[in-house]
Structure 1
């Protein structure tokens, strides 16, 4: 407890209290306590400035009793003045620190701390095209569907999904959709993360896979509408060597200049 009359004892107690506070503030389990701690520190800094000024004055006032170790008063008096000057300089710096601490306390007073942390920005589901086939090549998959059902055709098309490679190829080519594209006379089947769309009338099949896109990676709505076509079209046929070749492999071939 402070004595309020013994500078030596109270200085020692203040030093221990600051050491304890330095240890305690390594973590804050309750951020609601931050403003209170800042307020107490601001009061402490104001007191520290006063202490430094008073120590400087005490060095000046007691100059007649100042000597060096060899008993030279002139040297002792000079050093007492030097100490007083440095203490005044320190008080000036503390005054600047007080202004910054006061500003920090003002900002902290406007923070409303909640017990439940804000959830991170959720990922948004987008559909990427795994493979699109049409014509004779699609006919083989349609035959599987006719013989064994749509699920068998969907599982067959999964062999064209190379995971991250397929996702990257779809992203690079703009084949990313808010919902799986659907056209007239198409049949659809949803199974887990996959969506199958096929049409006997137009002789095409397409497989899509859902992909979670982080908020930081998402395109603005206007940019996405320009980047992603509304549905697979015959124009994509020129981008692949074969519709049975996975999109990821075609992308690599094109990047290396190997596409025909």
Structure 2
């Protein structure tokens, strides 16, 4: 226990405590315990800095009352001043170490050590529209912008009910799915993908879940969702339309070239 009055005894206790800490810190059963240890070391370093200054002050204050082993007052005074100077230099180095330790503690404080507490980001399907319903939303986007479209589609989001349905149906994605000719817009936790050519609109919401629950199986054998199937079909239809506009579906390249040269292609 510290005496707060006997520097010799308290210095011995401090040395013994540091020796014990050096032994105990070889293994941390809980890595999160490093943070409070850093805090205590930081406080201890501030005290050590103060001790250095006080030791230097004692040496400087008593320089006129000392000698060396040869009973030489001048040599004793020079040794006392040299010791005070070295102690001040040590205190300066402790300041630098203190700043480094303080920065390390700041970084350590941002660490989440328990992997079970980690959260992974996933995107759940909120709604997918095609046909007339999608056309109305696409018109809304054209007239009022993408944010108006996202706000409109968010009306299909029923919170936990929507999340549970997406989980059950496998409509959960690492990133919002994007198909050929899709456009994307994001506001807050929502991402909207829309395809004016294929006539489809979809809304996805960011969802955080425990990391261990977000690990995908090595081989994904899940059946594609209705949204994914419809999106793929729409993309296929648009690809076929593009092929016809460019020269015909399964049309030989030579015939296509002749038609384009004569201005016969559509």
TM-score class normalised by the smaller sequence = 0.3 to 0.5
* TM-score computed with the length of structure 2 as normaliser: 0.43
Looking at both structures, which has the greater relative contact order when contacts are Cα pairs under 8 Å and sequence separation is at least 6?
1
